[in-house]
Amino acid sequence: MSLQETHASQSMFLLDTHCQRKEGILDEEALQVTQQLLSSNPDFATLWNYRREILMHLETVKEKDEVQKIYEAELAFLESCLKLNPKSYGSWHHRCWVSARLPRPDWSRELSLCDRCLSLDDRNFHCWDYRRMVVKVSGVPVAQELGFTDRLIGSNFSNYSSWHYRSTLLPLLHPESPESPSPSHEPPQPSPSHSPQTQSHRVCEEQLLKEYELVQNAFFTDPNDQSAWFYYRWLLGRAEREEMISCVYVSRDEERVAVAFSRPVNAQSVSLLLVLDGQPQKVEWKSVHPRFKHSPVCICDLPPGTISDITNEHNLTVHWTEKYTHRDCALYTGRTESWCRDSATDQELFRSELSVEKTSVLQSELQSCNQLLELEPLNKWCLLTIVLLMRALDPLGYEKETLAHFQTLKEVDPMRSAYYSDLCSKFIIENTVLKMEYAEVRVFSITDKNLTTLCHLDQLLLVTHINLSSNQLQQLPPQFAMLQCLEVLEVDNNRIENLEGVYHLPKLEEVLLKNNKISALADLQPLASCPKLRRLDLRGNPVTQAANIESELTALLPSVTDLLL
């Protein structure tokens, strides 16, 4: 039969099947007709749906033992479909449905099927999904599944799926011991028990050290394979920070309270209670910029006259009732502002705390990677891993070497140059935050470092003066609005095209924007929301060549008394 005749025959069968379904025919003959069609092409979703309708009907008219035989035959039929197309969406989905309805399922048989399929193609994600369902329903021990990944990785290091599956199993089998609660926070209240999937993603140190050895064998065997390097990056990562209030800031002049969190929250729904001098306050919490629904910094304005009298002392407490945590802050007599916060020098902010043993192992890992780099000087995975190891061990101590490695990465992998530039910018900002903390100042300065992006801006809530001149920045993003204490902004000699993030900064007085790419008056519109702005330097921007620009700026920014064009 020719291909054209085959297609014509299938079309006729499909038409007949459609008519049968429309007429409500749900017998075994209809089951045979759909089987004939699906045997040649198992990717007809409509036919699988019709088949399920038939099977559900047969459940109501057959005895339990007969239903068992029907579903067992269905599983056998599905195996033949999978031989035809091992990655058939419809076949795997239908098998999952059948297994869930089988009166007496044989889960060991299903696991064996998964083993066979994955031995043929260890990246068949349909089979991986099905296996996870079988494991969950049948209660296969986590240790047994971890052993399964051992076998697959042992036979083929280049196995993304096995490495990923391993990363989900290790925290369940070898979880890190829970830390004792911090004395500065309320103890957690009793809560419903969590399933393993919701537990911490940290792995105990003893097992981590074994994993380092395993993955090192993998990338020394094939330095150019990506899968082991990705897994290694996961090992070097850290779990999410504890959900907490990291900073509370109060300003007497603006009568405003700003709260920083360890992760972004929804300002409209976050359960915050502000208590002032023992009295709960009815305030409206909002994000610092209308572009965000979620933000790590939320603000609220107090009623006029609440804390404006400088001769009065006030005590504030912000309760995050949902997380059973709080933060206190005292505004003393004669002070116009006050804050209470965690120091960013805490290792948990940018990297995991290291024990002596783990530090020793990571130093050994760094030495091994450096040896591999001597053999493979242009291996981008090795270079990037060295950078990450240096970050984990001593980000400030290895700063010079890290920057040099980033330059090499851009040369050996030019297609991802922008990614390396952004990652390098992130690390430079982290180091500068740490240096600022150690110096105990509120000035943040990164000049002439080729910054391409801004991050961790929630850590700059208290900064009063920021200098980002002579970099490669193209914008001040909406997150910039988290700098609620900012008074002076220097961003000369960049490539900035808009000021979207300079939004409602209540203390901002000076903006120095010389030699950027501001081209239209509308790009300066956000500055109109800054009530204390007095000085603006726009020299070297295309907008200065527009007709009547000075008069238009005067109308847009009436508070500016020192305008440089």
Chain segment 427-470, per-residue pLDDT in tens: 999 999 989 888 888 999 999 999 999 999 999 999 999 999 99
Question: SS3 helix, strand, coil % of the chain, rounded to 5?
Answer: 50, 15, 35
Our CA angle for 535, 540, 545, nearest 5°, is 95
The pLDDT confidence band at residue 359, using thresholds 50, 70 and 90, is confident
Least confident of 103-112, 199-208, 287-296, 544-553: 199-208
How far apart are alpha carbons 433 and 113 in whole angstroms? 53
How far apart are alpha carbons 104 and 522 in whole angstroms? 69
Q: What is the mean pLDDT of the chain?
A: 88
DSSP classification of residue 175:
B
Residues 218, 228 contacting (CB under 8 angstroms): yes
Amino acid found at 39: S
Instruction: Indicate the length of the chain as a whole number.
Output: 565
How far apart are alpha carbons 333 and 50 in whole angstroms? 77
Distances (CA, A) of 19 to 15, 25, 29, 289: 6, 9, 14, 57
Encoded tokens for 461: 């809530």
Q: What is the distance, to the nearest Å, from the Cα of residue 430 to the centroid of all Cα atoms in its chain? A: 17
The pLDDT confidence band at residue 14, using thresholds 50, 70 and 90, is low
> For 504, phi and psi rounded to 5 degrees?
50, 50
Average pLDDT for residues 179-194, to the nearest whole number? 38
| Nearest Cα to Cα of residue 247 among 460, 13, 493 | 460
Q: Does the pLDDT at position 183 exceed 50?
A: no
Least confident of 46-50, 219-223, 444-448, 549-553: 219-223
The pLDDT confidence band at residue 188, using thresholds 50, 70 and 90, is very low
Average pLDDT for residues 248-254, to the nearest whole number? 96
> For 169, phi and psi rounded to 5 degrees?
-85, -40
How far apart are alpha carbons 61 and 327 in whole angstroms? 65
The pLDDT confidence band at residue 300, using thresholds 50, 70 and 90, is very high
How far apart are alpha carbons 157 and 131 in whole angstroms? 20
Most confident of the following: 18-22, 349-353, 394-398: 394-398
